Structure 1
Amino acid sequence: MSATSASITFSRRNFLRTSSLASGGLLIGFNLFTACKSDVKPPIDLAELNYKDFNAFIKIAKNGAVTIFSPNPEIGQGVKTAMPMIIAEELDVAWDKVLVEQGVLDTENYTRQVAGGSQSIRFSWDALRQTGATAKQMLVNAAAAKWGVDASELSVSEGVITNAAGKTLGYGDVVDAAAKLEIPENVVLKEPKDYKIIGTDQVNVDIDKIITGKPLFGLDYKVDGMVYAAVLRPPAFGQELESYDATEAKTMPGVIDVIKIGEKAKALLGKEEINWTAQLSPSEKVVVIAKTTWDAFKAKKAIKAQWKDTSTLESTEYQDKKLNDLLDGKEFTTLREDGDVNKAFAQADNVLERTYESPFLPHNCMEPMNFFAHVTDKKIHLVGPIQTPEDAANTVAELLGRDVKDIHLEMTRQGGGFGRRLYGDFVYEAAEIADAIRKPVKMVSSREDDMTTGVYRPAIKYRIKAAIKGGKLTGYQLKEAAINGNMYGLIPNFFPAGAVENYRVDVANYESNITTGAWRAPYTNFLAYAEQSFFDEIAEAMDMDKVQLRLDLLEKVKGTTDERIQYNPERLQAVLKMAVDKSGWGKAPEGTYQGVVAYYCHNSHVAEVADVQIENGMPVVKKVTCVVDCGIVINPLGAKNQIVGGVIDGVGHAMYGQFGFKDGVPSSNNYDTYRLIRMNEAPVVDAYMIQNELSPTGLGEPALPPAGGAVANALRAATGKRIYKQPFMEDLDFWRVEEKEIIG
């Protein structure tokens, strides 16, 4: 849906208002709905839409102060700043006069309180604007009634209503009267040219608290009488607790008790109604309750536990063989098939086939997993960092046999999520501990706990095959072999779907006892590198310019009537052309080698160009030029931060991220053995955004997947060598080149 001015029709029964706030004032919310399709034109009858999203709230006090509640979890993606900006724009208040508060879990007035998939702004854009515009119209109507004039005669600017005679009223002057009025059925949204807040650089609303160390994060939360818990989990995947001796641990300073949990969680395993984010463990666990986290951590090491093997203790070699067997086998699920791929390969002049592989990856959130819980007969109080608070509350209710209405869940700011905090295993541990001891308790994991007993990006292999006949790409087949599955959903309908007449996507997986799940930019974080690297090989095989190949393929998709296609070929072409222009593609100075990609994921279109130089015989990523089309940019400053962070994260994990298993035990347990990109290795990122008036899409994740492909293609230009396995720098000798070997 375009962001242009619109007359919006409202359904009274779906608009919530109340003036019964303890502080006095007006509280307004509007049910958000699934984002409109781009061809839907206003006016919109909201009563006919599917109300499955959440409510946004505005609080206006009698003194004119405006508080805007941000209902979605804040994990660093900036929604706690951007979502209130949208409401404030249509409400027409001065941004520097707005207070922002984190909403709590409220399933009656909010839905889709989720941080994941870069969808928060996309899903909420239209309804957040309508919320602000409706509140503004109610205030204007109240002022008009007070003055005895028509509302159309009044103007509003930064919370001040003015009539034709020049008299003014502040929002606080009419807030009580506004609360008693009928909800207007038609409101007019602003034209983008009239925006005063949207499109301006705004600092993070929490920045002062962050830099001064004020309590914001889950680890900061404390209450009187709170104790701390450390959980001893199985040391290897495929093991369960057999017995334990806590005699020594119980005598250590600060230790209150040592208990066992897990029976309640095991009882829920296999139940169909348990949501996909549960990640419940099949093993019982030993828990140390202590006066401090340090006391709990020390005592946990003193516990003598016996573990029994209950399934295969997998090693990286075992997993590698399993994935190869899947690729070589015939048991695949076909997700999309166009034309006749087998015929295209049989008739081809040239068939190109490559296999790409990636390892498991941990999430490495700076803030380790933690959660607060206090269980009483009357209430369950939960506080902490979770990306899926509603799922967590529902599962805790099932776990403890309680009504979900008994649960009060507060969300803290999160020190990183990247998909790890979609899964509530640490929440359920805290809840089960609190239920057992009936004291307020904070469960805290160490870095080692996080890295060795967490949820990982699954190891994956892709086999991609292309048919070339008469100088044209006539066939394309993508096979995926993943541990615990990976590529279900919309991925088969991303580029190059629709651009190749004969096209097929097949997937296969084997079930592992290692817990896997979403990792930043799920599905595409590795696929983008594999496909975009393969496109360069196709261009080389066809003796064709790499940029032109992509532009030509996208040209074939223009005007398609295939509703399965998710990307927009014109928008993808536009970001690619701008990236080529801004990066000086093909004009790099001597000694600088470039790689280019164009990719669509999480509803946004991205193109990147990486610049690589050889220093002391080793390749160094010096710069990445990134161009993004994500529709209207709410907060350019926050958007650029997301782009820069996503690119550096993508480069770092593609170059260095390595993680495996030996007999079910992770190969690394802390940063001394797990390689992350270092500050002096981070490239300069030049971020650009296409300016348009289209509704906003995702931005927290789309810049990450293309980065690996851009770097891989630049490394090929610099060294003459192709990479088929991440991390790229695993074999340093492979990359150490002499000056004479550089082919340019």
Structure 2
Amino acid sequence: MIPSNKNTFSRRSFLKSSALAGGGMIIGFNLFNACRFDVKPSIDLSQLNYNDFNAFIKISPEGKVTIFSPNPEIGQGVKTSMPMIIAEELEVAWDDVYVVQAPLDTKNYTRQVAGGSQSIRHGWTALRQTGATAKQMLVNAAAAKWGVEASECTVKNGVITNAKGETLGYGDVVSEAAVLEVPENVTLKDPKDFTIIGQGKGNVDIDRIITGKPLFGLDYKVDGMLYASVLRPPAFGQVLDSYDASAAKSLPGVVDVITIGKKVREFQEAGKNNWTMQISSSDKVVVIAKTTWDAFKGKKALKATWKTDTPLESTEKHDEILLDLLNGKDFNTRRKDGDVKKAFAKADKVIERIYESPFLPHNTLEPMNFFANVTDDKVELVGPVQTPQAAQTVVAELLGRDIETVHLDMTRMGGGFGRRLYGDFVYEAAEISDAIRKPIKMVSSREDDMTTGVYRPAIKYKIAASIKDGKLTGYHLKEAAANSNMYGLIPHFFPAGAIENYQVDTANYQSNITTGAWRAPYTNFLASAEQSFFDEIAEALGVDRVKLHMDLLDNVKMNPEPNIEYDPERLQNVLQLAVKKSNWGKTEAGVYQGLSVYYCHNTHVAEVADITMENGVPIVKKVTCAIDCGIVVNPLGAINQAKGGILDGIGHALYSDFGFIDGIPQSNNFNSYQLIRMGQTPKVDIHFIESDIDPTGLGEPTLPPVGAAVANAIYKATGKRLTKQPYMSNLNVEEKVLG
């Protein structure tokens, strides 16, 4: 059903509630210039005489529309899709729209965060209201100029037409409209009338990206800026004991060597350990230099000794602790339906498996970096961070400043995946600049990122199911993790509500290895574990995998109070679409298929993986994916997001491994840590369920299911159930890298 398009929109809420999404870097160029042979110079937006229409929209007398995008852009496409939403309701031609990154502005914008695939979902209604309200004000101004009723006017491509056929462009009335009363009620368009939403639009930053223009944090420079490289403890659990900087200081280009850490320690000791910090309390040695390379060489020349502050941990010890937790009794029960113990006691058969995943780094293409310039009057911060407001708040407290004096501007990010939710690199930059009172950019190397960062926690799941009289009667999920508090809504995801006796328990231990959100938090490995286990359940029951899921989802629909977060019918729809589009069960000889269906981050996804065996090695040839994410704002961007999640999920499930010995990471660059290679990427077919339901996220939901789809296909090919990632290591095969 299409919800009512009538919305009450108060003057008080207009600016603030209309700012729930977006993201990007300050630019302004015609969207399709990069695709044309006769490229015209981009318009210099600074030379246009704009009227500040509201916090989101500026319109010039020439009729050019600039839309400000408040949320961080990490490659998920919000800088393109969010302005599309405003432009749709504003009724302007997309070719006349220019997109500019808004600064951090907590007065006019809310939720300036990139994370959880929530930007479009949270911004959908407010951004539509922003555009519709501005359009109504422009129409009201034109109507007043003509002396007619606003209801007699129509709008198309930024041109207002009255009943007599007379026309006025937005630029003709913007000055009058900008001072009108904000309408209390606006009418939103029926989705069937959309002309921009639902059309594939190219990335608004593509011109700068492909031509190498300044756009990302690493590109940012100011006159007189210095560069900083930070020497952090080599092992988690160590702190600085002493250091010798004489060799570093003698190198050309090195300006100074200092230590930082005191302010962070005081902050933490005061009990203000903000969740975004994830930063060691040890002192750190910082080399200040004229170039990044000079700073890196200076850090390499440092001689430091470290002492053990807390026990040093190894992967082998982690595994023992997690297994002990799984087999112990110290659990928090997150959900309990019926009586699992009784169901297991009466069962004809009980299936049980333990699934294991390693710590994983984020490996963003752009290493951590941030600019800071601390003066007596203000603190200027510029760079790539997913949580700008939190970073601003912590810096103000760290430096003892009024928050109004801390200004933060966002650049485009070369990847985030959750790593840039944590502002440790921002706080280091601020503390360095505060110490030397000069503008600096803190830049991490790839080795810094991989060995002193934040990691996906190592997790083990124990899943058990009971079968009685050919039916699934009980299901018990246990999770054991390091530092995990990411239980969220997992207890209410599938199969919650589908099985009479259902229980979810969790346990964790505190590790001194910093852990945090990693792409598709909560579910990135859980989906692989559960959907692999359901493949085994179907086999034990002797039923088709598709039928098992359809029947279980029918159970949910008959349950009057299932207390679930997913929609069983929407999950059935994606399952049926994936089965149809993948030619499930009807492939040619030598092609093995695996299925996975999952809900997370408010989106329903089903995936089928096709593999072949070549010289004893499984090769993923194709993945067919069906998605219900509601209305698809930008199909071109949506397909790219869905494909990216699938390829990322395949790569980490098959190849990526990361471990520690005595607190020291055992990989520090891509020569020892494998990401998916070009020659290993399969064909990916994406299919969306047509919908008029409000949109949900896409940056994360396609990643979790694909690991199980691949594992289930490998089982059909080899007869081996895969329970430990990375799967290739546990198949004991070596794959020849192609390309």
Q: TM-score range by the shorter chain?
A: over 0.9
Moved more, 112-121 or 164-173: 164-173
Change in Cα spacing, 1:358 to 1:514, as seen in structure 2 (3 Å) is: same
The residue matched to 2:685 in structure 1 has which SS?
strand
Q: Which residue of 2 aligns with 1:583?
A: 582
CA contact (8 A) 1:25 1:175 kept: no
Matched, 1:365 2:390: no
Change in Cα spacing, 1:562 to 1:103, as seen in structure 2 (3 Å) is: farther
Structure 1 segment 189-268 matched on structure 2, within 5 A: 189-268=188-267
The residue matched to 1:402 in structure 2 has which SS?
coil
The 2-side partners of 1:377 and 1:188 are apart by 49
The 2-side partners of 1:9 and 1:27 are apart by 23
CA contact (8 A) 1:28 1:131 kept: no
CA contact (8 A) 2:85 2:633 kept: yes
Task: Number of aligned residue pairs: give it.
Answer: 707
Q: Which amino acid aligns with 1:212?
A: T
What is the TM-score of this pair, normalised by structure 2?
A: 0.94
Q: Which residue of 2 aligns with 1:460?
A: 459
Q: Once the two structures are superposed, what CA deviation does each residue of 1:345-366 show, in whole Å capped at 9, x if it has no partner? A: 0011100100000000000000
The 2-side partners of 1:614 and 1:335 are apart by 41
The 2-side partners of 1:403 and 1:281 are apart by 25
Q: Which residue of 2 aligns with 1:519?
A: 518
Change in Cα spacing, 1:270 to 1:340, as seen in structure 2 (3 Å) is: farther
Q: Which residue of 2 aligns with 1:724?
A: 723
Change in Cα spacing, 1:61 to 1:435, as seen in structure 2 (3 Å) is: same
The residue matched to 1:514 in structure 2 has which SS?
coil
Q: Which residue of 2 aligns with 1:478?
A: 477
Q: Which residue of 2 aligns with 1:648?
A: 647
Q: Which residue of 2 aligns with 1:287?
A: 286
CA contact (8 A) 2:261 2:283 kept: yes
CA contact (8 A) 2:9 2:129 kept: no
Q: Which amino acid aligns with 2:367?
A: P
Change in Cα spacing, 1:486 to 1:612, as seen in structure 2 (3 Å) is: farther
Q: Once the two structures are superposed, what CA deviation does each residue of 1:443-501 show, in whole Å capped at 9, x if it has no partner? A: 00000000000000000000000011011111000000001115421011000000000
Change in Cα spacing, 1:263 to 1:110, as seen in structure 2 (3 Å) is: same
Shift in Å, 1:73: 0.2
Q: Which amino acid aligns with 1:465?
A: A
The 1-side partners of 2:669 and 2:663 are apart by 17
Shift in Å, 1:23: 6.0
Shift in Å, 1:638: 0.2
The 1-side partners of 2:269 and 2:541 are apart by 51
Shift in Å, 1:182: 1.3
Q: Which residue of 1 aligns with 2:556?
A: 557
Q: Which residue of 2 aligns with 1:441?
A: 440
Q: Once the two structures are superposed, what CA deviation does each residue of 1:181-212 show, in whole Å capped at 9, x if it has no partner? A: 11111211111111110000000000011000
Q: Which amino acid aligns with 1:147?
A: W
RMSD: 1.5
Q: Which residue of 1 aligns with 2:29?
A: none
Moved more, 187-196 or 207-216: 187-196
Shift in Å, 1:91: 0.1
The 2-side partners of 1:196 and 1:5 are apart by 19
The 2-side partners of 1:335 and 1:733 are apart by 36
The residue matched to 2:547 in structure 1 has which SS?
helix
Change in Cα spacing, 1:181 to 1:630, as seen in structure 2 (3 Å) is: same
Q: Once the two structures are superposed, what CA deviation does each residue of 1:237-256 show, in whole Å capped at 9, x if it has no partner? A: 00000110001100101000
Matched, 1:27 2:52: yes
The residue matched to 1:112 in structure 2 has which SS?
coil
Q: Which amino acid aligns with 2:439?
A: P
Change in Cα spacing, 1:326 to 1:525, as seen in structure 2 (3 Å) is: same
**% identical aligned pairs:** 70
Q: Which residue of 1 aligns with 2:22?
A: none
The 1-side partners of 2:242 and 2:680 are apart by 47
CA contact (8 A) 2:722 2:730 kept: no
The 1-side partners of 2:520 and 2:184 are apart by 39
Q: Which amino acid aligns with 2:332?
A: T
Q: Which residue of 2 aligns with 1:167?
A: 166
Q: Which amino acid aligns with 2:596?
A: V
Gaps of 5+ in 1: 30-55, 737-744
The 1-side partners of 2:586 and 2:200 are apart by 32
Q: Which amino acid aligns with 1:553?
A: L
Shift in Å, 1:179: 1.6
The 1-side partners of 2:371 and 2:468 are apart by 62
The 1-side partners of 2:273 and 2:132 are apart by 39
Q: Once the two structures are superposed, what CA deviation does each residue of 1:158-188 show, in whole Å capped at 9, x if it has no partner? A: 0000111111101011011112211111211
CA contact (8 A) 1:604 1:699 kept: yes
Q: Which amino acid aligns with 2:425?
A: F
The 1-side partners of 2:304 and 2:466 are apart by 57
Q: Which residue of 1 aligns with 2:506?
A: 507
The residue matched to 1:524 in structure 2 has which SS?
coil
Structure 1 segment 26-65 matched on structure 2, within 5 A: 26-29=51-54, 57-65=56-64
Q: Once the two structures are superposed, what CA deviation does each residue of 1:697-717 show, in whole Å capped at 9, x if it has no partner? A: 010000000010100000001
Change in Cα spacing, 1:273 to 1:308, as seen in structure 2 (3 Å) is: closer
The 1-side partners of 2:9 and 2:558 are apart by 34
Shift in Å, 1:264: 0.3
Q: Which amino acid aligns with 1:81?
A: T
The 2-side partners of 1:735 and 1:340 are apart by 45
CA contact (8 A) 1:255 1:296 kept: yes
The 2-side partners of 1:574 and 1:701 are apart by 20
The 2-side partners of 1:440 and 1:691 are apart by 51
Q: Which residue of 2 aligns with 1:49?
A: none
The 1-side partners of 2:253 and 2:734 are apart by 52
The 1-side partners of 2:724 and 2:64 are apart by 56
Q: Which residue of 2 aligns with 1:398?
A: 397
The 1-side partners of 2:521 and 2:700 are apart by 9
Matched, 1:307 2:306: yes
Shift in Å, 1:316: 0.8
The residue matched to 2:646 in structure 1 has which SS?
helix
Q: Which residue of 1 aligns with 2:277?
A: 278
Gaps of 5+ in 2: 19-45
